[in-house]
């Protein structure tokens, strides 16, 4: 059966590709979202904190300079209007410093506090003493205090502290700008990676779809068209997804059914031709060689004989109900083909049935040998087995016949083939377990020796594979399935092909 090796379905492939795309989309989406959020945060910090903070810090320095300029003008002139910028700058400085505290990092704020402390020191140690002297009318003392240079030195310290804070903000601006540039590059890389990943996923998905489905459908289409065109000898062995394989199995099953029907029509045609040629006994002889039907619930038996020449085969099958619990099955293969071999087969079948009715399994091969005295050139291979449903055993004699299969066990010959020239030969009876779940497959050498175009035999391996693929089919269907595989393998019919299947219920 073509579907034996199918382990995946097209639906699984599609779901797998979809899952990969979904996971890729989620991963890339998360990375993009995180990167965009980080970029926005950095940009917001630059625009809403660092840039305004630097402007505010510059404004504070401008207010410091206003205070210095106003104080120096008042000292030089004694005119009160020069103190207006000095007085207005104080409250504004406090407001600007409060805004800065909310805008700058802790490291910058510490430098701003150093600047504010330097400013306070300048006011306390230089500005206020100078203003007090000037306001008291002692302009000389005020000038002397200015001349000491203390105020200039302290104001230089304010400027230096401001420069340190401004440099720190500038450094953070530069770091944030570099961070924004890095995030922007990462964002560009992720976008490019997204495009490439989706392009690659699309190409891989298309390749997987082509490899797993389209290619398998193309092969199935070619095989189906060949069958539709009359090539019924070409088996349909679809590969690929389970759905395609199942369709291939259905097409191959239909092909085999057509071949079975053609075989039946051919057999009917040959029987009709035999009747037209004045051989009315042929049909009766053919039927006599086939196994009689067995109607039991506890045992299923099926057999099939396909002759190599005409309508008569040298093979014969038989099923004999010995008692309530025991049933005997027989498969014999007479050398040669056609009517002569069929007549020998019929005589052997009757003699073996009589021996079995008397319960002499050990004597069946010897009885068969006695019938071959008149035709010493003829020989027979024979398998006779008795199924005991009560003891769940199988007793058998194999007279030189190809070993039947009982599960994985071969029932090897228990003696030589049956021939008049082997008058001293003996045959051993062997017994093996045989109960529910077991399957016995016996066959003629025409099954094993069926050859393909390259000359390869069907062999034991072909039988095992065919039985394995047939699985738990009913024995009738199992025999047809094995026969179909032999027919598909066989290049040209060379020998009778006979198959017998036995399975306890």
Give the pLDDT of residue 248: 65
Q: Give the pLDDT band (50/70/90) at residue 4.
A: very low
* CA 268/CA 161 separation, integer angstroms: 117
Give the pLDDT of residue 32: 83
**Average pLDDT across the chain, whole number:** 83
Q: Are 374 and 347 in contact (CB under 8 A)?
A: no
CA torsion angle for 178, 180, 184, 185 (degrees, to 10)?
A: 20
Burial of 192 (0-12, 13-18, 19+ CB in 10 A): exposed
Instruction: For 294-378, list the strands marked E by DSSP.
Output: 299-306, 315-321, 326-334
Give residue-wise pLDDT tens across range 397-408. Answer: 999 999 999 988
Give residue-wise pLDDT tens across range 257-277. Answer: 666 665 655 555 555 555 444
Q: Is the pLDDT of residue 382 over 80?
A: yes
More confident residue, 285 or 380: 380
C-alpha to C-alpha distances, 147 to 80, 122, 227, 394, nearest whole angstrom = 21, 15, 118, 133
The token duo for 388 is 């005991």
Q: Are 440 and 499 in contact (CB under 8 A)?
A: no
- List, in order, residues 6 or more apart from 25 with CB less than 8 Å away: none
* CA 356/CA 352 separation, integer angstroms: 6
Class of CATH domain 254-504: alpha beta
Give residue-wise pLDDT tens across range 42-69. Answer: 888 888 888 888 899 899 999 999 988 8
* CA 380/CA 333 separation, integer angstroms: 6
Q: Give the pLDDT band (50/70/90) at residue 2.
A: very low
The ranges assigned to domains in the chain are: 7-200, 254-504
Q: What is the radius of gyration, based on Cα positions, of the chain?
A: 53
Give the pLDDT of residue 206: 74
- Return the bridge partners of 479, or none: none
Which of left, alpha, beta for 78 (phi over 0: left; psi -120 to 50: alpha)?
Answer: left
Q: Are 387 and 504 in contact (CB under 8 A)?
A: yes
Task: Tell the residue number behind the tokens 């190409």, with chain if given.
Answer: 203
């Amino acid at each position: 059966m073509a579907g034996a090796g199918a382990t995946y379905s097209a639906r699984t492939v599609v779901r797998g590709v979809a899952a990969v795309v979904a996971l890729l989309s989620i991963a890339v989406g998360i990375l993009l979202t995180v990167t965009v959020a980080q970029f926005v945060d950095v940009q917001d910090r630059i625009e809403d904190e660092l840039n305004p903070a630097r402007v505010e810090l510059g404004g504070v320095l401008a207010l410091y300079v206003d205070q210095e300029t106003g104080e120096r003008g008042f000292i030089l002139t004694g005119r009160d209007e020069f103190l207006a910028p000095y007085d207005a700058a104080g409250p504004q400085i406090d407001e600007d410093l409060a805004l800065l505290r909310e805008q700058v990092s802790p490291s910058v704020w510490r430098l701003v506090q150093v600047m504010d402390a330097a400013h306070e020191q300048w006011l306390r140690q230089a500005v206020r003493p100078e203003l007090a002297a000037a306001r008291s009318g002692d302009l000389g003392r005020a000038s002397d205090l200015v001349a000491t240079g203390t105020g200039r030195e302290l104001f230089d310290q304010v400027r230096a502290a401001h420069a340190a804070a401004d440099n720190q903000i500038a450094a953070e601006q530069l770091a944030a700008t570099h961070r924004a540039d890095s995030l922007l590059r990462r964002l560009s890389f992720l976008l490019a990676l997204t495009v490439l990943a989706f392009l690659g996923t699309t190409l891989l998905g298309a390749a997987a779809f082509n490899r797993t489905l389209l290619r398998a459908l193309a092969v199935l289409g070619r095989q189906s068209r060949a069958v539709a065109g009359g090539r019924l000898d070409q088996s349909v062995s679809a590969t690929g997804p389970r759905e395609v394989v199942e369709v291939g199995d259905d097409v191959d099953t239909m092909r085999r059914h057509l071949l079975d029907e053609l075989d039946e029509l051919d057999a009917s045609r040959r029987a009709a031709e035999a009747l037209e040629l004045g051989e009315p006994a042929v049909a009766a002889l053919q039927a006599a060689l086939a196994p009689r039907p067995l109607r039991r619930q506890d045992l299923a038996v099926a057999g099939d004989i396909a002759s190599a020449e005409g309508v008569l085969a040298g093979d014969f099958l038989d099923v004999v109900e010995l008692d309530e619990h025991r049933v005997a099955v027989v498969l014999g293969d007479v050398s040669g083909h056609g009517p002569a071999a069929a007549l020998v087969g019929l005589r052997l079948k009757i003699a073996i049935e009589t021996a079995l009715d008397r319960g002499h399994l050990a004597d069946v091969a010897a009885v068969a040998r006695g019938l071959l005295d008149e035709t010493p050139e003829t020989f027979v291979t024979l398998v006779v087995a008795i199924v005991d449903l009560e003891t769940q055993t199988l007793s058998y004699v194999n007279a030189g016949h190809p070993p039947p299969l009982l599960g994985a066990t071969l029932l090897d010959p228990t003696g030589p083939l049956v021939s008049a020239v082997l008058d001293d030969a003996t045959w051993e009876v062997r017994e093996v377990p045989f109960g529910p779940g077991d399957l016995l497959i016996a066959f003629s050498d025409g099954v094993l020796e069926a050859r393909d175009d390259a000359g390869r035999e069907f062999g034991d391996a072909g039988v095992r594979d065919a039985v394995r693929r047939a699985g738990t089919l009913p024995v009738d269907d199992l025999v047809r399935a094995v026969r179909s595989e032999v027919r598909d393998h066989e290049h040209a019919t060379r020998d009778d092909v006979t198959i017998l299947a036995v399975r306890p219920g």
